[in-house]
Amino acid sequence: MNKTILVTGGAGYIGSHVCWRLHDAGYTPVVLDNLSTGHEWAVKWGDLVRGDIGDADLIRTICTDYKPSAVMHFAALTDVAQSMREPDRFFDNNTARAKTLFDTAADCGINHFVFSSTAAVYGVPHADGYVNEDTPLQPANPYGESKIRAENALRALDSRGVRSVVLRYFNVAGAAPDGIGIGEAHWPETNLLPRVILSGLGYEGPLSLFGNDYDTPDGTALRDFIHVCDLADAHIAALHHMQNGGASDIVNLGTGHGYSVKQIIDAVETHLNKTIDVRIAPRRPGDVPVMLTQTNKAQRVLGWTATSSLNDIISSAVTWHKSAFYADLVPSLQSHGTK
């Protein structure tokens, strides 16, 4: 079997960590990325092909030249608030172009896909905040809806003998161990943990806390945080599942434990040994108060369980953002504005 894997969005945060883990597992990633939010420096474990997932001719060329045995698809727009402002852009990139990728790669004979999806497909969960893979899909924002449509486009290929594992992420955070040289690097940053850390380190001003009046124990939103390295390992497990004859499936990836925004802020303050200037702001459209997952299916289908603690997640992220490498990146990140 050809151990080359096409990784779309492999120059991005999650994609680069998956490429690292693929390499360690004996695979050769080939990255397809337009570098709109990814970084050339993050492509360390295989070739980079610069281009768009909606370019069918380019997909065919990659399949001819590299003969990948599977596709792992990460290239997507992910900012919930932005999706509320620009829904058409999300449906174009996350759905229409993804469908072009799926259909073209399948036409080239690729029959294993691992798809990066999101808990945003579930919308507002029941009172206890927990969802599982059978929870009805009721997305609260266009981002979640765009991912549902892409999931459906991929699953439609089952009739052609194409197998896929859809992985619905919860809140991904953390970074690879110091020395690997990859981590989260966007500007402006939209995810909670790096926003808290960057504010605490002085890279950004006061931290905006979007809503402290939710029906939760401390009034701030409650989330399930998963270490990006655990997440990357789940993708290898999904690939092995299909290679061993496993059927197409949908699996949630999280820890099953909830932490509030305030708890995250408090924990970062402890790691940095300083108080962060927090300003209360209105809730953001499309956000939900509580989102946690049950983990039974990931254990049963993939044999996978997240092993990292919240302390592991925060410690690795703080180390990354305090590194000299990240400090050298900041001027470039700021000048580009969206990376």
Mean pLDDT score across all residues of the chain: 94
| pLDDT given at position 106 | 98
Instruction: Give the pLDDT band of residue 285 (cuts 50, 70, 90).
Output: confident
pTM of the model: 0.95
Euclidean distance between CA atoms 280 and 108, whole angstroms: 51
| pLDDT given at position 337 | 61
pLDDT digits (tens, 9 = 90+) for 307-324: 999 999 999 999 999 999
pLDDT digits (tens, 9 = 90+) for 93-144: 999 999 999 999 999 999 999 999 999 999 877 767 889 999 999 998 999 9
pLDDT digits (tens, 9 = 90+) for 141-172: 999 999 999 999 999 999 999 999 999 999 99
pLDDT digits (tens, 9 = 90+) for 185-202: 988 888 899 999 999 999
pLDDT of 338 above 60: no
The type of residue at 287 is D
| pLDDT given at position 202 | 94
Euclidean distance between CA atoms 238 and 273, whole angstroms: 39
Going from the C-alpha of 149 to that of each of 12, 146, 247, 288, the distances in angstroms are 22, 5, 20, 21
- By C-alpha distance, which of 317, 285, 287, 166 is closest to 220? 287
| pLDDT given at position 127 | 66
| pLDDT given at position 339 | 42
| pLDDT given at position 125 | 76
| Of 143, 169, 214, 326, catalytic | 143
Q: Is 143 a catalytic residue?
A: yes
Instruction: Give the pLDDT band of residue 336 (cuts 50, 70, 90).
Output: confident
Percent of the residues in the chain that have a pLDDT greater than 90, as a whole number: 87
Q: Tokens 């408090």 correspond to what residue?
A: 266
Averaged pLDDT, 280-305: 90
Q: What is the CB neighbour count within 10 angstroms for residue 240?
A: 14
Higher pLDDT, 65 or 79: 65
Burial 135-174 (b: 16+ CB within 10 A, else e): beeebbbbbbbbbbbbbebbbebeeeebbbbbbbbbbbbb
Which fold, 4-174+225-255+294-308? Rossmann fold (3.40.50)
Strands 222-223 and 259-260: antiparallel
Instruction: Give the pLDDT band of residue 271 (cuts 50, 70, 90).
Output: very high
Averaged pLDDT, 284-291: 80
| pLDDT given at position 165 | 98
Strands 48-50 and 28-33: parallel
Euclidean distance between CA atoms 75 and 179, whole angstroms: 25
Domain boundaries, the chain: 4-174+225-255+294-308
